[in-house]
Structure formats: structure tokens, C-alpha cells
Structure 1
Amino acid sequence: MSILNPSQARKTFYQLLKDVNKTSEPVYISGKNEESEAVMVSKKDWDAIQETLYLQSSGVADVIQQREQENEFVALEDIDWDTL
């Protein structure tokens, strides 16, 4: 992960946007305190993070993990998505 201060990030902002989208590598912007720190990620990666958090919070990830451990094969069309 690249680490830049806010001035460096400002100077190379458009290149950083291209880089995080091309490589999926986040960029850490290190400020003087927590209020001036951030992490830049691509929209695609952000959406994936949000989806993962949702699946974990709703219990779907636990069901998937349980079925993987049981080696239980379920055809995609047989899954009742409303009761997962």
C-alpha cells in the first residue's frame, strides 16, 4: 500500500485515481491526526467491501461457510434466496 501525505496526494490525485482502479491497491493518505487521514480505494473495491460487510451482518456469509464445511452441494437454482 502506498503511503502519501495530503500534499503529495493532491499533486498526483488524478494519477492516484487511475492507479487504484488499475491495480486495486489502496492508497493511504497520512495526515497529522486522524481527522486528516484517509484511504483511497477504487469504487469497484469499495462496492465489494460493502457487499461483504452486508453478507456478514445479515448472516448469509455464515450459511455459506457452514455449507462449505459440510461439503453440501446445492444447485444455484435450488437456493431459496429469501430464507438464506
Structure 2
Amino acid sequence: MPTYDYYCDANGEKVEVFHPMNELISNWGELCSKVNRPLGDTAGNEPVRRLISSAAVISSTSLVDSEPACQTGGCCPGGSCGFNE
């Protein structure tokens, strides 16, 4: 489940919460309920906005064990450099 950061302009608080991608949280009351915290002095109907955050990107090339390139700049005929085609 992804982690999202929400910000409330009314109180200046940022709250981190886990929830499915298809779930929408639109106000302070819903957010506090989701993370099991009291509303405090902020009204439950105050709007919150989900902050944009960066995600970790995994390159498919980093997941593959690749052989180093031949030191001569190309594949040596017959594998004389130790790397076979």
C-alpha cells in the first residue's frame, strides 16, 4: 500500500498515511480518522490536499547481471579475452 502525505492549510500540519490508491481523503476529519488521531482544534470539514511526492524508480537494467564490455571495444573472436558472445 502506498504512503501519502496530506497537508491541511487550516492548521499547517502535514500527516503521513497509508491507504490504497483508489481511496480519496478530502478533509481533516477523514484524515484524522484514518490515522487514528484526535481532530484537535481543527474542524473536521477543513479540506486537506495530498502532496506530490517522488517515488523510487527502479531501472530494469539494474536488475540484470550483465557482463562487462570487452576491454578491446568489441567481442574478441573465439573468446580470447575471456568473454564469450
Q: TM-score of the superposition, structure 2-length normalised? A: 0.22
Between the two structures, name the one with larger relative contact order (CA 8 Å, sep ≥ 6).
Answer: 2
More helix by share: 1
Tell me which structure has the larger Cα radius of gyration.
Answer: 2
More strand by share: 2
